[in-house]
A and B are shown apart, each in its own frame.
Chain A
Amino acid sequence: MIATESLSKRFGRQLAVDDVSFTCAPGTVTGFLGPNGAGKSTTMRLIAGLAYASAGHATVLGTDYRRIANPSRHVGVMLDASAQHTGRTGRETLKLCAHTIGVDPGRAAEMLDRVGLDAAAAKKRVGKYSLGMRQRLGLAQVLMGDPQVLILDEPANGLDPQGIIWMRGLLRDFADGGGTVLLSSHLLHEVDAIADQLVLINRGRVVAKGAKSELLAASGTLVRSPDRAGLERALTDARIEFSASDRALIASGEAEAIGAAAQAGGIALSELRAAEGAGLEDLFLSLTSDDGEGSGA
């Protein structure tokens, strides 16, 4: 359980985080989406007690993170996978963590195995790790304390496609086991396949939030025709609103209505379906582009 309430953080005259409120329930994965510099990392730092809020507050498991006696036994926080001591080996990094939080140091080998870092990688210094390996090491570290809550900042950064699929599985299992996951990304497709809930943030403000299915339902129907100008005319005639998406159009309304409009205009369609990922991408782009700010919140 994670909750933020009107969380704000001011750096000088700039509001990096502005009145951010959302909750993450046990058993769910929440995707925290926004372009670089939107305030995702700062929000996560506020939740994990590394930064102090200018206003509002955040709780994890019903309390201020800083008040948790041995937080890593309950909450796994990874804010930057590259923030590891380059001179330490992977194994030593985990052992140090084990000694700090009081778990069996033997768990280090177990967790390395779980995140797919082999014996050779375990002995290597972190300075020789790729970003993808550091992400895996960071995940191993947050799992050391067997937490119920995970807070991960850009965990897919640097992972190869296989690695992203692997991580999805790991986080899905974690949530299905009753855990709470909050993960951020600036890339939609990284969280699209795994998140149950989305929080979209831009310039420090939440611009959309809710169950992914609801956000998607609002995002329309993808329609494509070889005669794009004709299709646009037909939709306009039928008073159906639409927006351009790549080579297709995203129209508001159900597929039936759009198909009928195309038929009325004598337009042959090459594609007609619920917008799904494409719609989410549009939503993401429109909500986070400069002029689209706030249009969907």
Chain B
Amino acid sequence: MSSSPAAGLTDSSARPSLLRLTRVEGRKMIDTRAGLWLLIVTALLGVGGTLGESLGSSGGPQAADVFSTAALSISFLLPIVGILLVTSEWSQRTGLITFVLVPIRGRVVAAKLAAAVIIAIAAAMISLALGLLGGSALGGGTEIEAAHVGRGFLFLVIAVSIGVALGLAFMNSPLAIVLYFVGPLLFAAIGAISGKIGDVTVWLDQSVLVTLAEDNQGDFGDWDKVGVTALVWIALPLLVGMLRLRRGDID
């Protein structure tokens, strides 16, 4: 031990890799009872939605319809998983440990985002499996367009990313969760006041995301709205959160 930095002390190759940190963040989602149950309930919603779709359709459900319904049902709670992955560092004050272990804060955020996206892809694969299973078992057919599957995956990835971004912007679980549920409704309500306002809010209220998962054939024409929605609900809060985190004190 000397007063000058020891060799290798600051060598960036000794940093925990992003892959390692992503695995750790994934582990944090399931290693508490609350976290595990949230994932289980989220998945059960997907199964429940599938059953509802199957029972409600005459002549057996189409795989594409079941896939859409499963993804939409899962998307109800999936963003909460993303929110809590971030906000629990503050509500449980584990940030004191996390950022001591990994002082470059952006790496923690990147790992959380990556872990959340992986969970979303897993959820989309479950939705697809439910779709194919429902379609074949109940006789509606297993036809499903690749583009539709891709949009369904994208839909869930966007949904969970909105959660992570809101969690980071607010660093507070109830606030982020309330805004996640109420925010889009608020925009829709404001939009309903007049057609002109509605022309603006339709770009902000996330309703286009639902069509992303729902439209199961033909060309999807609303990519511009998806882009704007993602910018407003992901990029903006992520930026706000990163600015807060970068200069802020952890306590």
A binds B: yes
A residues engaging B (CB < 8 A)? Answer: 1, 3, 26, 45, 48-52, 61-63, 65-74, 77, 79-80, 82-88, 92, 96-97, 99-102, 125, 141, 148, 178, 180
Chain A residues positioned under 8 Å from B4 (CB to CB): 62
**A85 to B24 alpha-carbon distance, docked (Å):** 14
The A-contacting residues of B in range 214-232, CB under 8 angstroms, are: none
Q: Give 13 A-B pairs besides A50-B250, A52-B247, A88-B31 with Cβ atoms closer than 8 angstroms.
A: A48-B103, A50-B100, A51-B250, A62-B3, A63-B9, A68-B10, A69-B10, A69-B11, A69-B15, A71-B100, A72-B100, A87-B35, A99-B23
Instruction: Check if A85 sits within 8 Å of B94, measured CB to CB.
Output: yes
Instruction: Check if B100 sits within 8 Å of A77, measured CB to CB.
Output: yes
B146 within 8 A of A: no
Instruction: Check if B250 sits within 8 Å of A100, measured CB to CB.
Output: no
| Cβ proximity bits B1-41 to A, threshold 8 Å, 1 near / 0 not | 11111101111111110001101100110011111000000
B residues engaging A (CB < 8 A)? Answer: 1-6, 8-16, 20-21, 23-24, 27-28, 31-35, 88, 92-104, 247, 249-251
A102, A141, A180: which contacts B16 (Cβ < 8 A)?
A: A102
A45, A63, A83, A85: which contacts B249 (Cβ < 8 A)?
A: A45
The 9 closest A-B pairs by CB, nearest first: A87-B32, A83-B93, A69-B14, A51-B249, A63-B5, A66-B103, A50-B250, A83-B96, A62-B5
Chain A residues positioned under 8 Å from B3 (CB to CB): 1, 3, 62
Chain A facing B: main interface SS: loop
Instruction: Check if A96 sits within 8 Å of B249, measured CB to CB.
Output: no
A68, A73, A86, A99: which contacts B103 (Cβ < 8 A)?
A: A68
Instruction: Check if B104 sits within 8 Å of A66, measured CB to CB.
Output: yes
Chain A CB within 10 A, most for which of B31, B95, B104: B31
Some 27 contacts from A to B, beta carbons below 8 A apart, are A50-B250, A61-B6, A62-B9, A66-B104, A68-B9, A69-B10, A69-B11, A69-B12, A71-B100, A73-B14, A74-B6, A83-B93, A85-B88, A87-B32, A87-B35, A87-B92, A92-B31, A96-B28, A97-B101, A100-B20, A100-B24, A100-B98, A101-B16, A102-B20, A141-B97, A178-B1, A180-B1
